[in-house]
Chains A and B, each alone.
Chain A
């Protein structure tokens, strides 16, 4: 029964935390350039404002355009609900392993790219075509990272992986280090952060993610924005449950360790958000055709990490 409660709490806590995380990252970035910046709860206000506004739909938008925001949101939410945040014993963790979670995000992206092409403007097309180019390199890199994790932990089940990573037998491994670097690079690309894409840009030709959703407005845009917030939270949860597993409450733990897990999770998110803000402030956005080099490096690192594990189980 407790497991079900943990699963439910997790499902709604990711939904509630995701805008706060974005607000916090924005605040960190603003403070770093000595601006006051909007309040950390500004993303919630934005979402409410968008929901209240009317939807302006392009003349030739089809049903797919109207269904896609809900599909993207649902796929991302399901994926985010299956990544352990503060406790590893999730009720439904057996329904989907890490490969499925990656593929669920792939489904969301598939529909997002299609929606970008639905209206038939050049910006939607440019966004969709660049997005699939980035995905075609980021997805294999992500799968190879999953392979390395699976080989170390002997499972692709995320709860098992997280529990194993928390146990003392892991130790320092070269391949895990490579996987971590590759995972961070993939996470940056997948979440359309600097240097791959700029979440705050308003110059159309440099946009990828924003170009695809240029036609969206009102409640549809709110769903898509919330999904992209969730995606950032998902990647941060993934990094923290696999590579920073301290404090994660194990399966069947009591309320005390659950509370410790929740506190530790919030602390980890805060640290990762500050790191992201510092990193984004420190680097410049790269040209679109430098992105394949960046992701190619992630792919090679991930492949190297996997190869090392295939060759020797102890590295």
Chain B
């Protein structure tokens, strides 16, 4: 009997084999179909293996391969947490491969995409399965490099090259932070297996350092503010299906890393770790969505909105940490369930939205919203499923985004029971930030859908647009169905998450499937409950009742006419509201502190024929406060150290001698 883990490891192995094969045949016309078909089959098989493992209640399974470090070997393990993330990764992988079966045919440089795509999937699977620091870091770095190669697929574009460079630097920085975190966890004995790390309980100082390093390492990959700067550059630079995979799935692998270390390996958390994670999460959510609102490039808007969702997930994880530190396991289970549910939901709707953006890109060649508009007439199916994605991500009932945000709010309402004053003050403030982020997200996606799909066409390319191929449509329709199903039947997902919370927290949310009418009841029915199915049914019934009543009794007459412009019809489509003008009120409200935005109006003298100009000046404060000083310091240091390159041999020898003396001194004085 071959173990489940060994079976699961065949998946990444098969994906790597596909990658090598793809490198060999990538210039062949059938290669696209072959590679994505194989990736789809392998991902689907991996889901099936995990599902059958879970259905069999077989518990944990592990395997050790004679690779990697000689005294540790490469260890792999499947438990509740990795099973959940394996499903997230492979569902994303399978649907993306399905989409790419059609979308990939439009790729101008398939030989730069096809070999790396299965390798990227393999890397993500291996990270989630790894059970020792060495294989974890190796897989992590492999995942980063494969995705970097995909970002650089269209490397002739200067902006993509810059994005790739920044991504590479940030990814290396993140891996370095992870390396240090694992070094601290391994301790002086150098026990790199996760099982051994779980047994060793680091002191409070080391535990704090590990938390900070994980926030830097996993947080830079997930896109926490202020480490997010690479994300809105790199995610949109890749081909759209890869953007979807990076935004919807790779960020989740980063969250997996954070949960694995902080909740599992690190032991009992300190209460202030909850404060730190909560605050970073709340700030990330608000700043991410504000940036998204200011954006007029559809794919960059989606990338920034990923940052917002990561913020929501981290805020919820911070709540779980705070509850866990205060021995409130049922509340911690609620917060962790909310976070994981949002992980799943975000992977659905963000993939869907990136696929939609990809469909718009293939049919019009544009991702600048200011050149789109009116696509609802040209792309009926795409616009419908994109609308479903927009409603879901805006946390509106009865779709899935609302169900998980509702759970987050329920978790926040458990927090007055927390004893620490710091938490009592921070939690409601973060609750307010999350509510603000949710409202801004709705505004952002009204803009994304309204400017792109509604109104009149702003360019000739839109008027020639045609609906995309069946593969892409199938993938988007499947995801839209998932968004609705997870929204109206959240009890299934919550119960499915109970093994994870049981293993990490030691408690679980009450069984939801036993509730009448499939409601979800996180604590008690008199306290709060939500029934997505009934809300959906009520809306459907009352809308049809209204429609029936109207069509039975009211006038049926309908006439088409020109739009009413209050006596001044806009002759040209360019005079419509644009993405920038749509966001202008919100920029005036929030921009002055979030971006130090300033508007200057340049009004020509009366009688002059010069046009009047409105100039908006915005700053990305993360760049100005963090990155530019650091880059400046590095420049300064390299300039100063540059002359060390041109020393004589005697001076080099002196330097070496001095270093040796200092090193020996330090060793002699070391306690």
Contacts and interface: CB of A to CB of B under 8 A. Distances in A.
B559 A56 contact: yes
Contact of B561 (A57, A109, A214): A57
B554 interface: yes
Interface in A116-142: 117-126, 128-130, 132-133, 135-140
Given A95-B519, A120-B374, A214-B564, A306 B396 contact: no
A70 interface: yes
B581 A129 contact: yes
Given A54-B559, A95-B535, A223-B546, A128 B450 contact: yes
Nearest to A103: B397
Interface stretch (A26-34, A73-81, A242-250): A73-81
A307 to B, nearest CB: 5
B539 A71 contact: yes
A59 B560 contact: yes
A210 B538 CA distance: 27
B432 A299 contact: yes
A121 B564 contact: yes
A6 B436 CA distance: 36
A129 B577 contact: yes
Among A137, A160, A219, A288, chain B packs the most CB atoms within 10 A around the CB of: A219
B415 interface: yes
A208 to B, nearest CB: 10
B570 A95 contact: no
Contact size range, B = 35 or more
Contacts of A64: 376, 387, 454
Contacts of B142: none
A298 B577 CA distance: 29
A127 B497 CA distance: 42
B57 to A, nearest CB: 32
Nearest to B523: A155
Nearest to A306: B428
Contact of B435 (A73, A139, A157): A139
Contact of A122 (B427, B527, B530, B570): B570
A121 B431 contact: no
B547 A59 contact: no
Contacts, number: 284
B588 interface: yes
A215 B563 contact: yes
A289 interface: yes
Contacts of A99: 406, 409, 528, 530
Contacts of A94: 519, 525, 529, 531
Nearest to A308: B428
A218 B445 CA distance: 29
A64 B409 CA distance: 31
A299 B443 CA distance: 18
Contacts of A201: none
A221 B547 CA distance: 13
Given A71-B539, A136-B439, A107 B577 contact: no
A38 interface: no
Interface in B17-68: none
Given A94-B531, A143-B409, A106 B396 contact: yes
A143 B409 CA distance: 9
Contacts of B538: 74, 78, 81, 92, 95
B577 A155 contact: no
B436 to A, nearest CB: 4
A245 B573 CA distance: 53
A269 interface: no
A58 interface: yes
A51 B539 CA distance: 22
A174 to B, nearest CB: 15
A218 B396 contact: no
Given A95-B530, A137-B589, A215-B563, A117 B555 contact: no
Given A71-B543, A110-B391, A100 B530 contact: yes
A310 B427 contact: yes
B172 interface: no
B535 A135 contact: no
Contacts of A147: 409, 412-413, 428, 431
Contacts of A121: 563-565, 569-570, 576
B555 A53 contact: yes
Contacts of B455: 117-120, 125
A67 to B, nearest CB: 8
Contacts of B432: 140, 143-144, 299, 303, 306
Contacts of B486: none
Contacts of B585: 129-130, 132-133, 288-289
A291 to B, nearest CB: 9
Nearest to A130: B585
A222 B442 CA distance: 26
Interface in A141-166: 143-144, 147, 150-151, 154-157, 160
A117 B560 contact: no
Contact of A144 (B395, B431, B577): B431
A114 interface: yes
B442 A57 contact: no
B436 A140 contact: yes
A114 B589 contact: no
B577 A122 contact: yes
B410 A156 contact: yes
A129 B588 CA distance: 12
B428 A57 contact: no
A192 interface: no
Interface in B537-594: 538-540, 542-543, 546-547, 550, 553-555, 557-566, 569-570, 573, 575-577, 581-586, 588-589
Given A74-B546, A215-B563, A135 B442 contact: yes
A114 B585 CA distance: 17
A260 interface: no
Interface string B517-536: 10100000111111100110
Report the 7 A-B pairs with minimum CB-CB distance, sorted nearest first.
A125-B577, A54-B557, A120-B455, A117-B450, A132-B443, A74-B543, A133-B585
8 contacts: A51-B554, A55-B558, A94-B519, A106-B442, A129-B447, A139-B435, A144-B428, A311-B421
Interface of B: 373-374, 376-377, 387, 391, 394-397, 402, 406, 409-410, 412-413, 415-416, 421, 424-425, 427-429, 431-432, 435-436, 438-440, 442-443, 445-447, 449-451, 454-456, 517, 519, 525-531, 534-535, 538-540, 542-543, 546-547, 550, 553-555, 557-566, 569-570, 573, 575-577, 581-586, 588-589
Interface of A: 51-60, 62-64, 70-71, 73-75, 77-78, 81, 92, 94-97, 99-100, 103-104, 106-107, 109-110, 113-114, 117-126, 128-130, 132-133, 135-140, 143-144, 147, 150-151, 154-157, 160, 204, 214-215, 218-219, 222-223, 288-289, 292, 299, 303, 306-307, 309-311, 313
Given A59-B561, A96-B534, A117-B455, 9 more contacts: A58-B562, A63-B376, A74-B540, A78-B542, A95-B529, A125-B576, A140-B432, A147-B428, A310-B424
